């Protein structure tokens, strides 16, 4: 497939500016990309975004530049994973023009079957990701990682309210919405009650950290993931001035690894870095999150298809008089459970443990309620 129109909307990567006078060593990502930066053969494509007007006006947005400087210095361990970096989507005259440009770029990459990673802009750019799916009327499961729940109808900035349009706009293409990492002291309990009535799932940051493996199936089942860096503790992301608490650097890398491992997920976004801190640690944190996203993609390449039962250990259980099957991957250890329609849904070991004790797993019930 020829990629022509998208390059009318992006500023290509300037490897000389990013790398400066230093030459990349053998095996560094920047050197490999400089030699071959081919979208057509890439397993995933990096798309930069420097649009922050939906949250705060930054006159000199250097976030994507700083991320690339750090990411290109890292070593490419994942020889099975081919990367392309098309550069930064150009900001439009108006905020909605920027959304439209990002949507167009994503639409073309998705049509070509590419997995895409969006880096940089404010969190409201998630709307462009959703609109790329909505444009082709694709029903999706969406997962957002954030300390806040951006559903404030009185919010002055789009970044405070963009989820309203995504979740209740008509026509609507959200099958399921998950929010991971919210911080209770920033959240109105009435808002959580309203979200629960819609049968959407919200998991506070402490619960995610206690049992990280329980949110892996959520991410695995999603078509797109939007990670707001405001969900991270200040100590692990110095540019974040929202809270001293939140996800650690290791947590963030693990969540992005889960995203890379998902064969369902088509677009991921890491939003909220307009400018780097003086020591460059915020950009390095994001760069390592991208590295772990790539690590997840490599792991997924060696995962057997569910139809190939030789790649799985199969467990039969009788749960509340329902005969069902659980599969565990022999490569990654991940779990799937059979639903009444004979399809398989992503799950965790705790779901199998519940079923083996004749209890219907809560995840099983929630999926049934949504179908």
Contacts of 351 (CB under 8 A, 6+ apart): 326, 335, 337, 361, 363, 364
> If you search the block for the tokens 């599969």, which residue do you land on?
327
Predicted pLDDT of residue 278: 87
Tell me the mean pLDDT in the region 96-101.
Answer: 96
| Residue 368 clears pLDDT 90, i.e. is over it | no
Average pLDDT, the chain: 92
Sorting pLDDT into bands at 50, 70 and 90, what band is 194?
A: confident
Give 268-316 pLDDT, tens digit per residue.
Answer: 999 999 999 989 999 999 999 999 999 999 999 989 899 999 999 999 9
| Residue 327 clears pLDDT 70, i.e. is over it | yes
* Lowest pLDDT segment from 42-51, 104-113, 213-222, 353-362: 353-362
Record the pTM. Answer: 0.95
Predicted pLDDT of residue 319: 74
Predicted pLDDT of residue 370: 76
Tell me the mean pLDDT in the region 74-102.
Answer: 95
Sorting pLDDT into bands at 50, 70 and 90, what band is 371?
A: low
| Residue 367 clears pLDDT 90, i.e. is over it | no
Predicted pLDDT of residue 2: 54
Higher pLDDT, 154 or 30: 30
Predicted pLDDT of residue 3: 56
Tell me the mean pLDDT in the region 20-40.
Answer: 87
Give 205-260 pLDDT, tens digit per residue.
Answer: 999 999 999 999 999 999 999 999 999 999 999 999 899 999 999 999 999 999 99
Predicted pLDDT of residue 5: 75
Predicted pLDDT of residue 153: 81
Tell me the mean pLDDT in the region 8-18.
Answer: 90
Give 141-164 pLDDT, tens digit per residue.
Answer: 999 999 999 988 888 899 999 999
Predicted pLDDT of residue 145: 98
């Amino acid at each position: 497939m020829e990629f022509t129109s998208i390059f009318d909307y992006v500023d290509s990567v300037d490897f000389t500016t990013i790398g400066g006078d230093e030459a990349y060593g053998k095996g560094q990502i920047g050197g490999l990309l400089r030699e071959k930066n081919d979208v057509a053969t890439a397993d995933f494509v990096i798309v930069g975004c420097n649009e922050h007007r939906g949250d705060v006006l930054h006159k000199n947005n250097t976030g994507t530049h700083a991320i690339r400087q750090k990411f290109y210095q890292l070593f490419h361990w994942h020889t099975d994973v081919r990367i392309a970096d098309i550069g930064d989507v150009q900001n439009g005259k108006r905020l909605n023009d920027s959304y439209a440009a990002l949507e167009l770029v994503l639409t073309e990459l998705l049509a070509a079957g590419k997995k895409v990673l969006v880096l940089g802009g404010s969190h409201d750019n998630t709307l462009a990701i959703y609109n790329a799916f909505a444009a082709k009327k694709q029903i999706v499961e969406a997962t957002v990682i954030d300390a806040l729940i951006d559903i404030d109808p009185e919010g002055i900035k789009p970044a405070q309210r963009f989820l309203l349009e995504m979740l209740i706009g008509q026509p609507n293409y959200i099958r399921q919405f998950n929010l991971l990492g919210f911080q209770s002291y920033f959240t109105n309990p009435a808002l959580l009650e309203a979200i629960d009535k819609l049968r959407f799932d919200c998991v506070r940051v402490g619960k995610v950290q206690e049992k990280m493996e329980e949110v892996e199936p959520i991410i695995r089942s999603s078509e797109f993931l939007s990670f707001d860096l405001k969900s991270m503790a200040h100590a692990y992301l110095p540019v974040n001035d929202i809270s001293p608490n939140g996800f650690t650097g290791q947590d963030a890398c693990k969540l992005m690894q889960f995203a890379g491992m998902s064969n369902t997920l088509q677009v991921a976004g890491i939003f909220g870095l307009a400018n780097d801190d003086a020591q460059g640690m915020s950009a390095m944190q994001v760069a390592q999150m991208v590295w772990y996203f790539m690590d997840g993609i490599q792991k997924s390449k060696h995962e057997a298809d569910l139809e190939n039962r030789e790649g799985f250990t199969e467990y039969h259980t009788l749960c509340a008089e329902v005969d069902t099957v659980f599969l565990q991957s022999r490569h990654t250890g991940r779990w799937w459970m059979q639903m009444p329609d004979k399809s398989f849904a992503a799950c965790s070991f705790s779901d199998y443990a519940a079923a083996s004790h004749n209890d219907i797993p809560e995840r099983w019930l929630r999926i049934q309620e949504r179908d």
